Structure 1
Amino acid sequence: MTLFFREFARTRRDTGAIAPSSPLLARALTRYVIPSPGHSRAVLEVGPGTGAVTRHIRASLGPLDTLDLVEANPRFAALLHRDYGDDARIRLLTGLVQEHELGAYDTIVCGLPFANFDAATVEDIFGRLLAALRPGGTLSFFAYAGVPPLRRAFTTGAAREQTLAVQAVLGRALERHRFRSETVLGNLPPARVHHLAPVAPLLAYAG
């Protein structure tokens, strides 16, 4: 927890949360990481941070399953390596998700602070993640409940334009691909979890 607060204060653009995800939020985000005995599943977590959600994913992994973790913060990455480096099913990729050649996944869980990015970056990341899903795969991410209207109300100038552009990108993605949303009150602050699936097979993302 101390490391998380320190990194939030130091790099708040990349560490968008003020506290690790609660168990309730972690369970909502991993709702579609469903055990499938006898079949191998590939799971991707983007922005695992200190591993609050990773622990829930790992608990549902079978012996044939794999989990890729993509973490840009080197201090968080070192912590994840310490905790999960001895698990052959788990691969840690350091750096931005845009810097990696992603595989094909059954489930993607994303903890990135999209509200902190510009619209082009958000659109790029969504395109990559949705294109990395296998047929029938799901992408789950969250946003803090009530924050979008606050950002619109209390930002001006270029910051407001960026906020509106990012929210437009998120809105289009949700309108096209969302099949379920749920509110998690037991988190600091409360969060809204969105579950997406490609509406049609997508071509490999070309950037």
Structure 2
Amino acid sequence: MTGSIAPSGAALSRALTRHVQPGTPHQPRAVLEVGPGTGAVTRHLAQRLGPDDTLELVEANRPFVEHLAAALRHDARLAAIAPRTRLHHGLIQDQQLGLYDHIVCGLPFANFPPSQTEAVVRQLLASLRPGGRLSFFSYIGGRAVEHLNPRQALSRRALREAIDLHVVGSEIVVSNVPPAYVHHLLVPAPAACRCGALPQA
């Protein structure tokens, strides 16, 4: 399912990846990108990874998977991290996820039913290590705001509580086409034990 009219712009990609910090040889970091599309955000992630960090990509769209596979071979920015990158084809709900220090999500939540949005957000929060962050975006003026803004989606109680419990910042990227909100959610140690048991809507 494709949820945008164009690949993420540079400003949106920078906003989504600004909190990704490189690890060290003694403490490498694991990063997951969900819905990378053609790799616009992935290229920014590649610049922020340490030499021992790993990246996993989960993409449901077969043509995008084939595009990414070729880019990992031929695009210099992605080829540099190809040995430490795993590309998965399929829905995020069907993946056996590990634990990650940062997750960047580009899924088109505006096109999902509320129950699916809630389930995916819970799954991603549960896949973060304590202190890990989930970054995602929603387009301004679209249905995505209704799905992801807890003040405008009162009936989506589980998603609202997930954001209220974990959000540490939101920003507006006005130069993106269309303009977008970027949300950053943090899972501290106490909340890491609760995120898998959010109330049902």
Same fold? TM cut 0.5: yes
2:42 alignment partner, one of 54, 67, 75 = 54
Which consecutive residues of structure 2, in runs of 5 or more, have no partner in the other structure?
Answer: 74-78
Residue aligning to 1:202 = 193
* Deviation by residue 1:91-150 (Cα, 9 ceiling, x = unmatched): 001000011100110000000011100111111111110011011000000000122499
Residue aligning to 1:83 = 71
Residue aligning to 2:108 = 113
Q: CA deviation at 1:188?
A: 0.5
Task: Report the RMSD for the aligned CA atoms in angstroms.
Answer: 2.4
Residue aligning to 2:164 = 175
Moved more, 96-105 or 27-36: 27-36
Q: CA deviation at 1:204?
A: 8.8
> 2:179 is matched by which residue type in structure 1?
P
Q: Contact conserved, 1:140 with 1:195, CA < 8 A, in 2? A: yes
1:18 and 2:9 are equivalent in the alignment: no
Q: Contact conserved, 1:20 with 1:50, CA < 8 A, in 2? A: yes
Q: Contact conserved, 1:41 with 1:105, CA < 8 A, in 2? A: yes
Q: Matches of 1:112 and 1:139 in 2, distance apart?
A: 12
Q: Contact conserved, 1:148 with 1:167, CA < 8 A, in 2? A: no
Q: Contact conserved, 1:74 with 1:94, CA < 8 A, in 2? A: yes
Q: CA deviation at 1:37?
A: 3.6
Q: Matches of 1:171 and 1:19 in 2, distance apart?
A: 28
Write out the 4+ residue segments of structure 1 that deviate beyond 6 Å after TM superposition.
149-152
TM-score (norm 2): 0.83
Closer, same or farther: CA 166–104 of 1 in aligned 2, 3 Å: farther
> 1:196 is matched by which residue type in structure 2?
L
Residue aligning to 1:126 = 121
Residue aligning to 1:30 = 17
Q: CA deviation at 1:202?
A: 2.5
Q: Residue 192 of structure 2: SS of its match in structure 1?
A: coil
Paired residue total: 183
Closer, same or farther: CA 148–65 of 1 in aligned 2, 3 Å: same
* Deviation by residue 1:130-182 (Cα, 9 ceiling, x = unmatched): 01101100000000012249979xxxxxxxxxx95886554332212101000
1:189 and 2:178 are equivalent in the alignment: yes
Closer, same or farther: CA 148–27 of 1 in aligned 2, 3 Å: same
Q: Percent identity?
A: 51
TM-score (norm 1): 0.80
Q: Matches of 1:169 and 1:18 in 2, distance apart?
A: 29
Q: Matches of 1:110 and 1:130 in 2, distance apart?
A: 11
Residue aligning to 2:56 = 68
Which consecutive residues of structure 1, in runs of 5 or more, have no partner in the other structure?
Answer: 1-13, 153-162
